[in-house]
Amino acid sequence: MKVTRRQFLKVTGATAASFALVDLGFNLQATASAVKELRIKNVTPVPTVCPYCASGCGLVVYSERDAEGKFIRLLSVHGDPDNPINQGGACSKGAAMFNLREIYDEHGEQIVNPKRVQKPLYRAPGTDKWLEKDWDWMLDQIAQRVKETRDKSFIHKETIADGSEIIVNRTERIASIGGSGLDNEECYLLSKLMRALGVVYLETQARI
Ligand code: SF4
């Protein structure tokens, strides 16, 4: 068998390292299980869906929690190996999802990503300024505007080719777009709500 220089160094290096540790009296089996335990101590893996694109890859978010289960810090985000779509993989964008929430400063302290928008922002017509608003204000605005727009644009009946009238009950001034972050039940509820309002332009960026 032909052994390359690179293979030779790899094999002899690994073997020498193992012998050296055993010679020094380390119990490698115990060390391995201790490392495994340390790696998962107080760590909670939570499966989720990547929010970025239509592939809807499954990710696992690892976070450290205290004894009461309270969130302490985000540790890492990986592709979910049990997810049939991506089978543990994640593209560079999904793999960088960690930055969506928090980053570490130069001293290793965890801080909230300064680029992350954490409060609803509102830009009034005719201005380029974004104002921070609370969710109550924002949800009231959305509800009022949906009602106003629907009332103004609602089409009850339409005349068809043979001249007869049919009931259509729709609005063409509101559209709804969902994303791969929505699960089946959320999509179902969203489409029910939109259909009940008479919204006919329903879309999603997910394509799976
Ligand atoms: S990991 Fe990449 S490919 Fe998968 S859903 Fe996220 S952005 Fe899309």
Report pLDDT digits (tens) over 135-162: 999 999 999 999 999 999 999 999 999 9
For the ranges 17-21, 106-110, 121-125, 139-143, the lowest mean pLDDT is seen at: 17-21
Asked whether residue 131 falls in the same domain as residue 189, the answer is yes
Asked whether residue 111 falls in the same domain as residue 50, the answer is yes
Atom 6 of ligand 1: nearest residue by CA position? 94
Which residue among 48, 49, 57 is best mutated to probe the pocket of ligand 1, counting the most ligand atoms within 8 A of its Cβ? 57
Atom 8 of ligand 1: nearest residue by CA position? 53
User: How many whole angstroms from 90 Cα to the centroid of ligand 1?
Assistant: 6
Asked whether residue 109 falls in the same domain as residue 169, the answer is no
Asked whether residue 132 falls in the same domain as residue 186, the answer is yes
Q: What pLDDT score was predicted for residue 182?
A: 76
Q: At what angle do helices 5-23 and 28-40 cross, to 10 degrees?
A: 100
**CA of 50, closest atom in ligand 1:** 6
Q: What is the mean pLDDT of residues 172-188?
A: 85
Asked whether residue 91 falls in the same domain as residue 35, the answer is no
Last residue of a domain, one of 88, 116, 144: 116
Last residue of a domain, one of 84, 116, 148: 116
User: How many whole angstroms from 106 Cα to the centroid of ligand 1?
Assistant: 28
Asked whether residue 32 falls in the same domain as residue 94, the answer is no
Asked whether residue 81 falls in the same domain as residue 93, the answer is yes
Residues touching ligand 1 (Cβ under 6 Å) are: 50, 52-53, 55-57, 86, 90-91, 93-94
Q: What pLDDT score was predicted for residue 187?
A: 87
Count of structural domains within the chain: 3
User: Which one, of 199, 203, 143, lies nearest residue 172 by Cα?
Assistant: 199
Q: What pLDDT score was predicted for residue 40?
A: 66
Residue 77 in this model has a pLDDT that exceeds 90: no
Query: Which residues form the domain of 182?
Result: 121-204
Predicted TM-score (pTM) of the model is 0.54
Last residue of a domain, one of 116, 144, 163: 116
**CA of 180, closest atom in ligand 1:** 5
Q: Percentage of the chain with pLDDT > 70?
A: 70
Asked whether residue 69 falls in the same domain as residue 106, the answer is yes
Which residue among 48, 49, 55 is best mutated to probe the pocket of ligand 1, counting the most ligand atoms within 8 A of its Cβ? 55
Mean pLDDT across the chain: 79
User: Which one, of 184, 168, 179, lies nearest residue 202 by Cα?
Assistant: 179
Asked whether residue 49 falls in the same domain as residue 93, the answer is yes
Which residue among 86, 92, 182, 204 is best mutated to probe the pocket of ligand 1, counting the most ligand atoms within 8 A of its Cβ? 86
The string over 158-179, giving b where at least 16 C-beta atoms fall within 10 Å of a residue's C-beta and e elsewhere, is eeeeeeeeeeeebbeebebebb
Q: What pLDDT score was predicted for residue 14?
A: 44
User: How many whole angstroms from 70 Cα to the centroid of ligand 1?
Assistant: 28
Asked whether residue 126 falls in the same domain as residue 78, the answer is no
Q: Percentage of the chain with pLDDT > 90?
A: 40
Rg value, the chain, Cα? 27
Asked whether residue 68 falls in the same domain as residue 92, the answer is yes
Asked whether residue 134 falls in the same domain as residue 197, the answer is yes
Q: What is the CATH number of the domain that holds 50?
A: 3.30.200.210
Number of neighbouring beta carbons within 10 Å of residue 145: 11
